[in-house]
A and B are shown apart, each in its own frame.
Chain A
Amino acid sequence: MNATAQYIQPATNLNTVNPLEFPTELRPKIAIKVSNLKRSKIFYHALFNRRATIDKDKTAHFRPYNPSVDLILQEDATAQARDGHFGIQLKSTQDIERYKKRITEAGFSVITEEAETACCYSVSNKAWVNDPDGNQWEVFVVTGENSSDVRCGDSCACEAGGCD
């Protein structure tokens, strides 16, 4: 991982949009601890294609529209990757490529790619990436819902860290 990777310039300047706006009445929030805020900001900027909306000494808020979320990063020495994971659900498999490109250009790697893989009782196309603390994110498109009897397949990364 290249910790000195620069921020990538977003394609459009979404930061000029009023940060009070989000498209729905309700928006999900996630707050996680990170060990190195600077590195995490590079990762999440690449993931969301958007800079932090609030950027303080020990805290940063990312408020992208895609997906709509208030992601709060708090720098804390006790940060550790827990189990469970996060994700961004897309509608087109082609769009997964854009995420992969941004992540790799920012100096991070795509951990696993899954094509038409049975997991969570569905069939999906996925790319898995880890933030600098090991929090897992999947960028995915569901191509077959409830079409599988597999909860977590052999090639499925969704429970990594969670089993035994």
Chain B
Amino acid sequence: MSIWANAKQTKSIDDSVVNFPTKTRLHIAVNVKNCADLINFYNTLFGCSYHTKREGYVKYDLSEPPLNISLNQVPKNAKSNGVFGIQAKKIKHLEKMEKRLSDAGLRYKAKYIGKELCEININDPEGNIWQLSIFEH
């Protein structure tokens, strides 16, 4: 018998049916008045189409940034919870996001340091605030 036979098993057994590259992943559920009106905005913001769309529910499965974000339709009193954002290590990634927003004709405010883009502020069609920025310590 192996000397390790009675050793405590420390490795967890993965039983998730969803796989993603990071060990864990943040989840944000935004309560919204109307999912359908927001799909264009969020497809553009994240640069990809939603992962799941069902009645009153839209979910994005993102690896960059690592995020599981859902829009849950609660028409009567949807209120945003805080300010959301995406931080980028490199300017080229922030510029990519800006290009997507600009190509889609969305209105946003851009801040520059010198000639370098450092922050984009944009609201989704229901007023939820997103700040896209270069990550600074």
Q: Which residues of A are interface residues toward B (Cβ below 8 A)?
A: 19-20, 22-33, 65-70, 81-95, 120-121, 125, 135, 138, 140-146, 151-152, 158-159, 162-164
Once bound together, how far apart are the Cα atoms of A94 and B8, in whole Å? 14
Indicate if B7 sits at the interface (CB-CB under 8 A).
no
Q: How far is the CA of A86 from the CA of B93 in the complex (A)?
A: 25
Do B28 and A84 have beta carbons less than 8 Å apart? yes
Kindly state whether residue B76 has any CB partner on chain A within 8 Å. yes
Task: Kindly state whether residue B6 has any CB partner on chain A within 8 Å.
Answer: no
Measured between alpha carbons, how far is A81 from B31 in the docked complex, in Å?
13
Residue pairs across A and B with CB atoms within 8 Å: the count is: 181
- Assess whether B87 is in contact with A29, with CB atoms less than 8 Å apart: yes
Bound CA–CA A81/B83 (angstroms): 13
Number of interface residues of B (CB under 8 A): 54
B84 closest partner in A (C-beta)? A30
Is there contact, CB below 8 Å, between B65 and A28? yes
B54 touches A121 (CB 8 A): yes
A19 to B88, CA, bound (A): 14
B13 touches A94 (CB 8 A): yes
The minimal Cβ–Cβ distance linking A141 to chain B, given in whole angstroms, is: 5
